Structure 1
Amino acid sequence: MSSKNATSVAIITRTRDRALLLRRALDSVARQTFRDYHLVIVNDGGDPAAVDALVATHPDLSQVSVIHNPESVGRERAATVGIAGSTSEFIAILDDDDSWANDYLEVTVSWLRTHSDGAVAVRTEVVTEKVDADTIVEIGREMLKPSSYEVTLSDILHTNYVPPSSMLVRRDAYLSVGGWDGSKTANADWDFMLRLLRAHTVGFVDGPPRAFWHHRHSEDGPLGNSVFAAAHEHLQAEQVIRETYLKRALETGDPVGYLAFIAGLVKNLDTTVWQRLNIVADRLEQGDDHRYGSRLGEQIARIDQLLNRLDQNLDLLDRIREERARSPIRRIGHATRQLTSKLFGGVDPDATDPPRHRV
């Protein structure tokens, strides 16, 4: 462990028994063109000797400290342990299975020093891979949310498309909104983003991808990506966060709680409808429209029932908030009905609702 001199950026990396992945993350930090950083590795209950040995192979790291938790405190609390163990103007989280372009810190620090945003995110690429023995094998790449050119509260209420490894945050902004909630089992990054965006703007650096979010769909255990290996845990945590915000809204009138609830309905609708329509499209492409005609009709009817049920939920919210005319549910419901009507007929969309196109 090196001495903790004041630096511009604290990089927090959480890890546990994933030396193969951690090596890549350390390589990524060592290659940064911006050198005024302090890397804090939080070994959350893993083998201390393996982490220390790996750090020893990277003398090119500017400044590094290792915190060994004797027992695991969980992913989210491990992040708070690392942040508390650092002092810096800016905070970055680089998960042990993710990586950065060489100029990631240079570009993001420059942005925050020339803009007033509380944080800044970068264009991110999703890298699909698998682990074969002691080798990481890349399968493919695709840009994360390529149609997005900004980070907004309205979008983040639906889905957090800014992974922790894709954003640099001012420490003052981090502290002003209460920081990362380590008591959560998952999705603490999403909860933090909701609070951050209420109080601050988040800038966005376009251009080539500078953060790489690595996914291993087929892996579980220590090498798994938590978004997939712990998918159910993530879903439950998201529901708890939305429920907490809604209850707070009912008690205090905080509008974000209502918006989080509506966004959750939209997300469920989006997932259900488009899953069913993709099934329909696949079967039509296979020429099975006659064989499955009856079942497709049932699926379309089911979609319509879901829309009607969401309309009923919306009516309740409309009475609470008196904002029926601007309801995003009705706009999305109208757009979905229009699509199914064009494909199959028999659905009569409400012509008075303005359409909203799916991105």
Structure 2
Amino acid sequence: MNDTLVTAIVITHNRVKMLRNAISSVLNQTYQKIELIIVNDNSTDGTEEYLKKLKDQRKIQIINIMKKHSKGGGYARNIGIEKANGEYIAFLDDDDVWEPTKIEKQVKFLNENPDYGLVYCRRLDMDYLKQKKKLEPLKGTMSGNMSNICFEKTICTSSSMMVRKKVLDEVGGFDENLRFWQDFELNIRIAHNTLIGFINEPLMIYSVGNNDKGKLTNKFNGWWEAIKYIENKHEGYFSNLSHESILKWEVMIYKDAARRCKKSRLFRQERQYRYKVWRLEKSLYNLIRLVVNY
């Protein structure tokens, strides 16, 4: 039996009901050698009381961050990384869940591919309001040398990835200055450090469309500042990108901006970004999205 220790890091903030499902999905993995670190980031909804019931389980470590020490998701994840004993690290947001074989299959991949520092999986997008699941669409290069691809699309979310701890130590973990796109920015550094692998199976369920006012991905204010921060931080990488890659970066940014505007009910701004997308990528699909938004 494989004896590689995996550290699962779950960060949570005021989602005690969804957290239960996330934790259960970790404890129900077919791969057994997992230590679970739960980082409770200043929750006030009964999360701390719920977690007290779990503290006596040997494989679970609970870290409570008080309000005066709370510094966001990047800080919370880095606290978990600092305490981790596992050779491999897997992250899980409190509103996502893993399928039972996720860790087993990712461990197998990393063990068999020593040149790869990160492996991620396909996902199912779950709209809890509509009670509908949608398989994540695939587009372009999914694995290998992703040092240019990482600017053209979101490679993976934090809940779908497993990373070698030594890689996280080398690249410096999550950037605590960012409140948005933390996993995206981390993937830029990882992609320039190591090869990235992909398992073409939906081994996680990603929460979308839950209208959670506390969910950063549902917010728009401050998002552009994060984009500019990423561009400035990685100016050297951007300066070496091809015109085609820069174009894909801009299209991706404008599409995400339109989506965020829609969630924030900023419909005029959404149309402006849809127009920018259509100008850069004149496809029938983008034209329809522009017209329908009118």
Which of these residues, 14, 18, 21, is aligned with residue 17 of structure 1? 14
In the TM superposition, residue 49 of structure 1 has moved relative to its aligned partner by 5.3
1:142 aligned to 2:142? no
Higher Rg of the two aligned structures = 1
Tell me, in whole angstroms, the C-alpha distance in 1 between the residues paired with 2:181 and 2:87: 24
In the TM superposition, residue 156 of structure 1 has moved relative to its aligned partner by 1.6
Structure 2 match to 1:219: 212
Letter in 2 for 1:118: G
Structure 1: runs of 5+ lacking an equivalent = 1-5, 131-136, 250-254, 277-298, 308-331, 344-359
Structure 2 match to 1:70: 66
In the TM superposition, residue 129 of structure 1 has moved relative to its aligned partner by 1.6
Structure 1 match to 2:202: 209
Which of these residues, 113, 118, 132, is aligned with residue 111 of structure 2? 113
1:188 aligned to 2:185? no
In the TM superposition, residue 38 of structure 1 has moved relative to its aligned partner by 1.1
1:122 aligned to 2:121? yes
Give the 3 Å change call, closer, same or farther, for CA 260–98 of structure 1 in structure 2.
farther
In the TM superposition, residue 87 of structure 1 has moved relative to its aligned partner by 1.5
Tell me, in whole angstroms, the C-alpha distance in 2 between the residues paired with 1:234 and 1:304: 18
Give the 3 Å change call, closer, same or farther, for CA 271–77 of structure 1 in structure 2.
closer
1:236 aligned to 2:229? no
Give the 3 Å change call, closer, same or farther, for CA 93–55 of structure 1 in structure 2.
farther
Partner SS, residue 191 of structure 1: helix
Partner SS, residue 239 of structure 1: helix
In the TM superposition, residue 148 of structure 1 has moved relative to its aligned partner by 5.3
Give the 3 Å change call, closer, same or farther, for CA 217–232 of structure 1 in structure 2.
farther
Partner SS, residue 161 of structure 1: coil
Per-residue Cα deviation, 1:198-243 (whole angstroms, up to 9, x for no partner)? 110011112x31021111353313xx3x212x24434431221012
Per-residue Cα deviation, 1:52-103 (whole angstroms, up to 9, x for no partner)? 42462698x7611110011122111111011112221011110111111101
Letter in 1 for 2:228: Q
Q: Normalising by structure 2, what TM-score?
A: 0.77
Letter in 1 for 2:107: V
Structure 2 match to 1:178: 172
Q: Which has the higher contact order (CA 8 A, sep 6+)?
A: 2
Give the 3 Å change call, closer, same or farther, for CA 139–303 of structure 1 in structure 2.
closer
Partner SS, residue 88 of structure 1: coil
State how many pairs are aligned. Answer: 263
Identity of aligned residues (%): 23
1:37 aligned to 2:34? yes
Give the 3 Å change call, closer, same or farther, for CA 74–238 of structure 1 in structure 2.
same
Which has the larger helix fraction?
Answer: 1
